[in-house]
Structure 1
């Protein structure tokens, strides 16, 4: 039994040794997805400069083909717009605050679509040595034809009571004296003026061309003492009307003469302080039996305005000198000063102005006349801004 066990053990050891000497066969594993190797980034060493990134190549857009609309028509992209070196700008830009040209005269204003006004002047004093009382209303209308062109019309009347005294000499008998207070209603010459009025933010210009219709006329030539008194009173009231306005625009008052005139005005300043200079020239011709020949008229004036309360109350002063009858038999001139205030009430306005004729033929210091006047006026204007 022991012999059998020993033989079996020897055989097992021998078979184990033979198995170790023989190499086992390789087995092929199934293919599997292998991840790509990660790129290795080499870190620069100390002191070594990093090369810059290469500049990107410019992208050139491909040419656009015209859009074929069929039927031989095509739609091409518009050409590039070329900006002008200089840009044309209008004189007045919408929304710009323009220079305020509303002065002491009710006729003063901006280029509104419609401007209507009236004023009354009052006077009591001496005219050519005669005690005189006069009321001289004026009225006017201005209509804008375009933003820079307008047409205006004005007219002045006067009611006066003059204390006259003198003698009528008919040549056939002794002179007939007359004395008393004579009432007269006299009219001035209506005017029509076309004006060009461009405006900027701080400057305004106005140039016009106008004429005065020969409506004013003296009373008929005297034939007796009563008509002589009427003639004297008529002449006094006409001169009173002229002096009450400081001789301004004398063509409005000269009796029995037609006039043509060219007024020009430039204004400048800002909302608080503004000024203006205006000049005018013209000539008059006798009509309706008027005496004389062609005579010239000249005037120059200056205005200054202050905003007491912005957009509500303004005050200022105007100085002027006018001359008429130049080149004729009786040349006359009249300086004047006019302080004023103006109140704005929305589209409406009110003005108060005092006129003082200084020297000349009708003013203080002239010897036999002391013309002055108080003007109270107002009106309304439709403003386009």
Structure 2
């Protein structure tokens, strides 16, 4: 009945986790969900108020522009200049997206022909690989290993692969490993992409989720980056707007145009009222972002203290709201996640769900209160590992 591309899909990781969680809750278990990375805090009030006003305005009830409101794109470009020191043209180098997931999934349709290769990190957000496969392309896995600081080893990619490679997906700060990249690494990527004629897609959804005065470098801040790639920014995690579905792409005008052509044939753009709220988020005080990072820092430190007391060697992440924890060698990541759920009522994501090189790890999301994370730690400390 289904097309081959659907039949070839594995079960979507988070849907499977939701099913297991629901089963335990139906048994009366008090489940602490540290699995899916969905912020538990409300969207800041000033953004909500802006949305309410925009919804009441009939001018926002029509079909939106395919490329997004020029006001939103100008706000995005101004935010990028003020916060990152990066210049982009709001007309030709900026595009509104219905969340960055939509952009990631649609980009291969613009640039991948059947038989072409996309360089895809592993472990990684599953949509990089799935989007490539939907476009008829072949994902080539770039392992993210601890010994390489969870950065891909570009020198290890075979020449026969590079001849067919059209795209490269990157994501730093990284989901799921919480690893960060240096500006030197991004410079290496730019040189590599120019040498091999590869388009770079840097998914920068966690750019603002940083701790301990760390500032994450930006791909577009490197000389020549705009010649080879684009960067995707999401309002989802930064402003607790996951369900609103609003993001933007910036960078190379030809790549932006290609993504725009796909979108104009597939969707009708983001609801103008949501874009108006996005303008408010980007142009107002960013204190709400700093406040959230302070909250996540406390949660991170509570979880890390407990995990290390259990004997799991976990380093403090400098960014994202994830903790990537190595597990005891006698367990697979699925077995360990199952143990946590069934014996402690804790949801954590098995590393293998992000790809084969995620085996040996689990991912915790810092999306519950300090008190609930402390309770999760107490439950885990009672487990016999």
- Whether the TM-score (by the shorter chain) exceeds 0.5 is no
Give the structure with higher Rg (CA): 1
Relative to its length, the structure with more strand (as a share) is 1
Relative to its length, the structure with more helix (as a share) is 2
